[in-house]
Amino acid sequence: MIFNNKSPVGIISYGSKIPKNRISGEQIAKNQGKEKQKIYQSLGVYSKSVPSKDEDTITISVAAGFQALDRLKKLSNKDIRSQLGSLFIGSESHPYAVKPTGTVVAQALGISSDSYINSQGEGFYKSLALADLQFACKAGTQALQISSIYVNSDFTNYAMAIGADTAQAKRGDVLEYTAGAGGAAFIVGKNESQFLAKIIATTSVATDTPDFWRRPKEDHPEHAGRFTANPGYFRHILMVVNQILNETKIKIEEIDYFVFHTPNAKFPMTIAKKLGIDKRKIEPSLLVKNIGNTYAGASMLGLVSTLDLIEENKKILIASYGSGSGSDAFIIETTDKLISARKKWNNEKN
């Protein structure tokens, strides 16, 4: 889908949350008795984030959401929560099997439908479309895609998309080196004067490629080893990248930065090589080296990291990957307001 200039959609704020705790790949290797294999070096993941006992997808989502709302208020001096008409949260680790993550997050953020009713029952009930999403590691970008379309269709003035996870791994499994925790929130709007980055287009692909799964009542996921690479990750990301470039008629050389899903640091570098992309164009997104794979939060955090570092008028291509399997892609372009926003946020923090 290409968003035309008559109905523009853009990112107007964002926030993130990564748990402070870390464990090194070296320590994991020692615990597994595999120090000599240097698996973490092969993966390019030297440490990963670890949630505290009181941190889960809900708390991470709330923290990221609050930061996005607070940053927007600092930029506009307006509280837009009464106009925020949708909230979608993508995760592989929703705390409840049957109870939405989103309702708890919405209540905490003050955007629930009853947030504007006082103790006497006076006020108004606001519209709020809400859903938890699951599509492995691309659930976060799916939330961003739906949010963008909601705003583009005039369903709401503002929408929030969150991707967050506290990833799990079976002890002794290779996933133990990478399964991290963290998440990011994006607020999307249609007022171009607020755009930090304009969303030019988005598209998706999906096939039945079962490379990674978890059955009901199982604590940890299973995976098909190397089957996750070529038939899964590489195939789908190449498909979706080619698709969005074809749909927009934008050449790959015109893209300034890339954000690919990061199950490790090795895979996105391999994709860059396959596409003939200079590795410097993906380096701003490679948080995985220090925080691990945050699953539904990974592509979202990669985008946050890139937006935190790059200049105005730069095109970014984001391509997520979700096992099972599918990919979402976006092309966005930064504006001069991103630079001024970062300066304001940094000045107030200091």
Q: Which residue has the tokens 């399997």?
A: 325
Catalytic residue numbers, as ranges: 92, 137, 261
Half-sphere exposure of 171 (CA within 13 A, CB side): 4
b/e per residue 85-100 (b: at least 16 CB within 10 A): bbbbbbbbbbeeeeeb
C-alpha 293: how far from chain center: 11
- Contact yes or no for 200/314 (Cβ under 8 A): no
For residue 256, count other CB atoms closer than 10 A to its CB. 16
| Dist. CA 291–CA 48, nearest whole Å | 4
- Contact yes or no for 205/157 (Cβ under 8 A): no
